[in-house]
Structure formats: C-alpha cells, structure tokens
Amino acid sequence: MLAHAGVDVVAEPVDLEEEGCWRAVVARDRRWDGCFVYAVETTTIYCRPSCPSRRPLRKNVRFLPSAAAAERQGYRACRRCHPAAALGPAEAVVERVRALLSSDAQPAPTLAALARAVSLSPSHLQRLFKRHTGLSPKAYLDARRFGQLKAALREEADVSSAIYAAGYQAPSRAYARTRGQLGMTPSAYRAGGAGERIAYALARSALGRTLVATTVRGVCRVAFGDSDLQLLAELRTEYPRATLVPAGKAEEAWVQAVVKGVDAPWKPPSVPVDMHGTAFQLRVWKALQAIPAGKTASYRDVANAVASPRGARAVAQACANNPLAVLVPCHRVVRADGAVGGYRWGQARKRRLLEGEARPR
C-alpha cells in the first residue's frame, strides 16, 4: 500500500495496490496526489487521484507511479488537474538522482554516494530508480553517456575529444563499454562506418523486397521495403562511409537462411547476429528472441520480462527501432487487448507473419 505524501518521504510508493488506488480516485482523495497517477486508456489522458473530472470506467483505468512514467507510455496530462505540476516523494528522489547523474561530475557518483545524497539505502535506491526508469543508476548513466558519445563523435574534432566530452575518463573505457552498442569502434562510427565492410543482399521474400546486411560478426540488418532503392538508402543513411558490397559466397548461407526464415516464420533461422543498441534496447530485443514461434506477448508482458513493469511504451519504442526483422521477432508483440499494434514494416506484414506462425503444421 502507498504511504501518504508527507508522512514518509523515503518510503517506496511504487508497488501500486490497485483497489486502494481506485478507492482514492473514487473519493477524489487529495492526500494521494503525488503518490500515483491514473491513466485512462480510452482517452490516453492521465490525472491526479483528486481530479474533479467525471470518473472513468474502472476497466479503462491504469495506475502508474508518476507523471513521468505516464508520459513515457504515451499518455497526456489532464488540463483540469495538471498532474505533472508537482512531484511526489518517489518522483522527487528519482529526479534528484537523475540530476546528479547528469552533472558530468568526475568521477561519476557511485550508487553509495547517490544513496547518501537522497537519504536511502543503496538497495532501496536501486529498486526505486529501476522501477521508475527501467534502468539501474549505472545503466542509466551508461545509456546517457552512450547517447552523448554518438553526438560528440559527429561534432568533436577528434575521437579522443569526443570520448572525454561524453564523460569517459579514458579511451580504453569508452572502447570497452560501447563497441557492442555501436557495432564498431568509436573511431569507425565517427567516420560514418569508414573501415567497416557491410555485405548486403536484396531478395524477394513472402513479405516483398527484403534486405539482408552482414558484417564479419553476423547479420546486422534485416528490413522489408517496397523498393531496392529505398532499402539501400536506409542502409547508407546509417553508415554513410562504410564500404557496402554485394554479398558473396561467404555470406550466402546467412542470407539464404534469413530469407527462408521470412518465408517460413515458424522455423526461426539459426544465424549469428551483430546486434547493437542502448542497454535497454538490447534487453528488450533479447526478451523478444525468447518468445516462441506461434506465441505472442503484450508490450506489458515484455516490460515485465525486462524488469521494467511501467515501461510498456519504452518497449514499443525499442520494437520500432529493431534493425533485425524476424531474427528479433518484434512482430510477436501485440497490444494487451489482442489488437495487432504497430510494426516498423507495416501492419500487413506483421499480420502475415503472425498468421504464418499460427497455421497448424
């Protein structure tokens, strides 16, 4: 059960007991303002518990720990009660930690130092921060620095300057931490993929024109499109200075396996992948690979699987950024009400994949 605002600032008011929350909404109890918000799925609006608006049907209501969590999942703030105007106790702690992690202090604050700053135990802070953001403080800092590094690699005069501008204390740490996320060394990424050899093949599959791209490490891109020109343009946009070459005999087996996997989605292809993204994206994509062919999961199910129960919207964004169609089966993620939901390469293709996997064999 939640602690009332002001009674125990360091209590963890995020394990929402839904019936207690609903009673607070029915009573328009102001004591709960700042402890949680409720979101209405039919209107995509979220409110304070005390909102004077007409109460929605219970079946359409979701409870979320904060205004920030509601907005990450795509809900809009109510214009009557302005639920984002004030932070609740848990939100205030999370925002304080975010500010400390964004301060660019050197060295970066440890979990113990962060916990002392907000008067919590390290374990309590770890749980609270992860519940609200989907990441531990360390993973949040890594993701922030990764984003800064990508921007700095495009803007700074040289790679070393970019690494230090992003907050890394030494080039060796930047190379060790980010090569898997970038898919190449920082220097190669700064050069737009210069020095990387990416072999590609364009083929016809059951879902139309299909691009399969590979590095020496594995398949790095599988995409569908209406034309070869479109698919190649997207590949060049991501790596403008990489060496793009038509796939040869060395890549033929991987390409054929992927195309067969598209045409027969109930038989997942067994090929190595060269997958790179943020820490959260990688967690989501690995969770998607655990969904069996012929089965589906909701965005909320996947959020729970990656220990981010409030992160359904963030999961949807990770699915939308998936570079490996079929190999990372984001088509198996559907809405909680059973509707197909969005798909990076179009709903018609998603339906066809799902229908193909569900067909008895």
Clarify whether 330 is annotated catalytic.
Answer: yes
Q: In terms of DSSP bridges, do strands 197-205 and 208-215 run parallel, antiparallel, or are they unpaired?
A: antiparallel
Which residue is listed with tokens 């209107």?
A: 43
Strand partners, 38: 47, 63
Nearest C-alpha neighbor of 283 from the set 322, 339, 336, 226: 322
Amino acid making up residue 86: A
The Cα–Cα gap between 223 and 201 comes to 11
Report the 10 Å Cβ neighbour count for 301: 16
Which residue is listed with tokens 């219970």?
A: 58
Nearest C-alpha neighbor of 312 from the set 294, 327, 334: 334
Candidate list 78, 220, 319, 330, residue with the active-site label: 330
CA 49 vs. chain centroid, Å, equals 28
The Cα–Cα gap between 130 and 189 comes to 30
**Token couple for 226:** 């209406």
Clarify whether 81 is annotated catalytic.
Answer: no
The Cα–Cα gap between 75 and 44 comes to 5
Candidate list 47, 78, 81, 220, residue with the active-site label: 47
Active site residues per annotation? 47, 330
